Amino acid sequence: MAAAAIDPVFAAHESLHLVLPRNTKGIGSVILKPDSKDLIDGVTIEAFPIWPDDRGYFLEIGRIGKGLISGFPTGTTQISAALSYPATIKAFHFHLHQTDCWVAAQGMFQVALADLRKDSPTFGLRNTMYVGALRPWQIRIPPGVAHGYKVVGTEPGMLVYITDRTYNPKDEGRIPYDDPGIHYDWELQHK
């Protein structure tokens, strides 16, 4: 369900105008398959293979020029990783220019997305995805979609992210994890 009211634009660049939604508390649509009809407009998901054996596992993060990162330019694409401990919440941030591609390389993540794009057909919608060792997905997140995560389970989580631009702090905006507009419910859902 889309946001109930619209606040003034708080960030903009050319045709991208970002607005904080006014949602009721919740987690939005839980995305269970990459082609879900409930996916925020412009967000793309692909499953990736994991090759396990008795030594551990191997996963391919991406190939330049192929898959979700096919359009990422070679001169500015950046590959980074973040290790977070269980129950850590890192949320929310957004970009005006940068596209992210997230790969959960270790552990499990509760990924939260919120569409801040005023003119988007899915403005105000929230998506939740449980990704990682039990659901090996890559998630491509376009500019204007707020994103964050919580590490779920008892093990640390390693998130590898590929961006189409080198980091620029002027391109990134931050929103508190408990913002009353996004109103994302980080509490355990199935108690």
In angstroms, rounded to a whole number, what is the distance separating the alpha carbons of residues 90 and 88? 7
185 in any annotated domain: no
Rg (CA), the chain: 16
pLDDT tops 90 at residue 6 = no
pLDDT of residue 165: 95
The residue range of the domain holding 166 is: 6-174
- Average of per-residue pLDDT values in the chain: 93
Would you say 146 and 46 are in contact if contact means Cβ atoms under 8 Å apart? no
Beta-carbon contacts of residue 2 (< 8 Å; ≥ 6 apart): 21, 122, 123, 124, 125
Asked whether residue 23 is domain-assigned, the answer is yes
The reply to whether 124 falls in a domain is yes
- pLDDT tier for residue 71 given thresholds of 50, 70 and 90: very high
CATH number at residue 95: 2.60.120.10
List residues bridging with 14 in a β-sheet.
none
The owner of tokens 């401990």 is 85
**Residue 51 lies inside a defined structural domain of this protein:** yes
Q: Which of 62, 136, 142 is nearest to 100 (CA)?
A: 142
Q: 95 lies in a domain?
A: yes
More confident residue, 36 or 3: 36
pLDDT (tens digit per residue) in 9-66: 777 788 899 999 999 999 999 999 999 999 999 999 999 888 999 999 898 888 888 9
Tally of domains within the chain = 1
pLDDT at res. 142: 98
Q: How confident is the model at residue 89 (pLDDT cuts 50, 70, 90)?
A: very high
Query: Has residue 190 got a pLDDT over 90?
Result: no
**Among the ranges given (6-10, 130-134, 171-175), the one the predictor scored with the smallest mean pLDDT:** 6-10
